A and B are shown apart, each in its own frame.
Chain A
């Protein structure tokens, strides 16, 4: 299960842009955003509602993957299984990470969608943003930053934002407060920025 969820970044890179690219961009293109702003709906409420719908769909997609270990345990004869396939803490940790990091990625998509009228541009911005968040940490970790004295302090920041390290931790059953704070604060920050953008452009 750990190996299966370790490739979370591949579907996320494509699903999240597809889920979020038309959320606000389409509203602006169709002209319905201005109409909505005349109602007693605040920009932040609009952004949060878009976020919740995209996040709910994202969560539903990932929740379906829980059927894979369930089917395997039902079909494979119990004598062949030397261990519990559905180890509770592994499944819980993996899903918790998927949901937590997904909130941050979806908020990146919402922000990207609020910046432009074009769905395509919004999709590309989201893809780039999610790619930077997930992959750049790993790439920077591979570089010999510690040998460069003036960037030595940045190594700890890079380590803090490493998404793969967060996944490894959660999948082993360690729930650390730092990824929680990182992802939740990033989500709130990005959604707040998106609401500023929406308010600015009305």
Chain B
């Protein structure tokens, strides 16, 4: 009998078969893992919603393509945090950042880092971030790039629609603006004039100091510095925004011309904070820009418009990007002793110059012109002007708008009160929002205002008891019908 080939032996055949099967399984698993890794690397996504609400706007994607620096986002938000109405905040935040991750992966941005931090579980990480970001709030989103950082509190992500009153989620706008801020290679600088007794950045005095302002904007990657205009022939090009904070002495004619040239020829931005009873020699400049600033004060005895310490509460704001968030969030601005700053009716109309009254007092206020004679101010018919009184005006020149282009034009904002900047009152949220928006408006950090917010859809069915009963019966029909069908089949099969 012919002896069996080694490979024909049963045991060896079994072993070979087993080995063959093992290799097949290993190859199969490897193939599946490889296919999945490929899908992770080259993923594609389709947004089938009608309004494409689950995709980032084209503007955000376009801005992402321009970013070359690496940046990180840390989401330190409590999972259980809810909005009024019961909606969880993470329901909006997680899908939004999922989109950011997807876009970053698609664009090959390997240096984009996103991390969710549980503020109760990851205590070490939270303490690390608190140290580097120097924030003291819970529930914030932290954006950082190199040495620049920005903390976004959760309430900035939501706004109320002024028409419908519905809550809207504007996370994409806020987060993308923050990303652009921290990754912007060009550092924005705001300069405060000195030499006329203005308020100082280094001063910690509650009434006259601006140390709080300086600290606040440093955290937002805007550097505040001082500039003495007398040392320059003109306002330098590297001044992004010029702030004149409560001048106590008059500007020289040369300095006024420098300011005029800066505004009109170089399209600069000036924010002027004035105090009553101070001469500044800027009346001609104000007149040229259609602004009237009278040397009087505003009185408002209304109980709803005064704090216990005598500060005025300002609640009247324009529908303008600088003040819109104050309107939407029903915020107030506190002012110590403002002077009126109004649109000058006698100023010449200059083509391209648009003026907006930004904020004002209540109907119970008036411009008190006889404050020097009266010990207790009272409204005098024929002499005093009844409210509401404007105390903040924006005058801006827009060029080439008819061509559909938005080119930088001169911006001149005048507020009739410098106390809103001071350490004493800057801590109030409304004051900070007003100042911050004014600065950002002048810095043109409003290029994302066109990203529409997402409407938060809350569903509620309102039906009568009878309808509810009918609905319950209809919904039970299906499972009962299936159960009856099953019973019939069982009976038939028996």
Contact B25 A193 (CB under 8 A): yes
CB distance from B32 to the nearest CB of A (A): 5
- Among B115-123, B243-251, B366-374, the one that faces the other chain is B115-123
The yes or no answer to B471 lying at the interface (CB within 8 A) is yes
CB distance from B462 to the nearest CB of A (A): 5
Question: Known contacts A160-B40, A186-B32; is A173 also within 8 Å of B125 by CB?
Answer: no
In chain A between 177 and 202, which residues have their CB closer than 8 angstroms to a CB of chain B?
Answer: 177-178, 180-182, 185-186, 188-189, 192-193, 196, 200
The yes or no answer to B407 lying at the interface (CB within 8 A) is no
Question: Known contacts A93-B48, A196-B24; is A83 also within 8 Å of B36 by CB?
Answer: no
Question: Known contacts A71-B474, A80-B461; is A181 also within 8 Å of B35 by CB?
Answer: yes
CA of A75 to CA of B22 in the docked complex: distance in angstroms? 58
Residues in chain B near residue A172, CB distance under 8 A? 49, 54, 95
Most chain A CB inside 10 Å of its own CB: which residue of B118, B457, B474: B474
Contact B463 A80 (CB under 8 A): yes
Contact A175 B463 (CB under 8 A): no
CA of A83 to CA of B462 in the docked complex: distance in angstroms? 12
Most chain A CB inside 10 Å of its own CB: which residue of B38, B45, B470, B477: B45
A52-77 vs B, CB cutoff 8 Å, 1 = contact: the mask equals 00000000000010011001101111
The yes or no answer to B87 lying at the interface (CB within 8 A) is no
CA of A168 to CA of B93 in the docked complex: distance in angstroms? 13
Chain A: CB-nearest residue to B46? A175
CA of A181 to CA of B43 in the docked complex: distance in angstroms? 10
CB distance from A121 to the nearest CB of B (A): 22
Chain A: CB-nearest residue to B49? A173
Question: Known contacts A80-B461, A173-B47; is A146 also within 8 Å of B35 by CB?
Answer: no
In chain B between 438 and 494, which residues have their CB closer than 8 angstroms to a CB of chain A?
Answer: 457, 459-463, 467, 470-471, 474-475, 477-478, 482
Interface of B is mostly: helix
Residues in chain B near residue A200, CB distance under 8 A? 21
- Please tell me the number of chain B residues within 8 Å of chain A, measured between CB atoms: 44
The size bracket of the interface on A is 35 or more
Contact A68 B478 (CB under 8 A): yes
Contact A192 B28 (CB under 8 A): yes
Residues in chain B near residue A144, CB distance under 8 A? 118, 121-122
Chain A: CB-nearest residue to B34? A185
The yes or no answer to B124 lying at the interface (CB within 8 A) is yes
Contact A72 B115 (CB under 8 A): no
Contact A72 B54 (CB under 8 A): no
CA of A150 to CA of B35 in the docked complex: distance in angstroms? 25
CB distance from A156 to the nearest CB of B (A): 8
The yes or no answer to A89 lying at the interface (CB within 8 A) is yes
Residues of A in contact with B (beta carbons under 8 Å apart): 64, 67-68, 71-72, 74-77, 80-83, 89, 92-93, 144, 146-147, 160, 168-169, 172-178, 180-182, 185-186, 188-189, 192-193, 196, 200
A-B contact pairs, 22 of them (CB 8 A): A71-B474, A71-B478, A72-B471, A72-B474, A72-B475, A76-B467, A80-B467, A81-B461, A89-B49, A89-B50, A144-B121, A147-B122, A168-B95, A172-B95, A173-B49, A176-B44, A178-B40, A178-B43, A181-B35, A185-B32, A185-B36, A189-B32
